[in-house]
Amino acid sequence: MTDKSAKIALVTGASRGLGAAMAEELAGDHHVVAVARTTGALEELDDRIRASGGAATLAPMDITMSDAMAQLARSIFDRWGKVDIWVHAAIHAAPLAPAAHLDEKDLEKSLGVNVQATAQLIAMIEPLLKLAPQGRAVFFDDPRSGEKFFGHYGASKAAQISLARSWQSENASIGPKVHIVTPAPMPTATRARFFPGEDRTALTEPRAEAQRLLGDLA
Give the DSSP H/E element, type plus range, for residue 66: helix 66-80
For residue 83, the model assigns a pLDDT of: 98
Give the DSSP H/E element, type plus range, for residue 17: helix 17-26
pTM: 0.95
SS (H, E, C) 136-183: EEEEECCCCCCCCCEHHHHHHHHHHHHHHHHHHHHCCCCCCEEEEECC
DSSP 8-class letter at 132:
S
pLDDT over 90 for what percent of the chain? 95
CATH 3.50.30.30 fits 8-212, yes or no: no
Give the DSSP H/E element, type plus range, for residue 11: strand 8-12
pLDDT over 70 for what percent of the chain? 99
Question: Across-strand partners of 140?
Answer: 181
Q: Once rounded to an integer, what is the mean pLDDT over residues 10-30?
A: 97
Q: Once rounded to an integer, what is the mean pLDDT over residues 133-151?
A: 95
For residue 1, the model assigns a pLDDT of: 42
Amino acid at 112: G
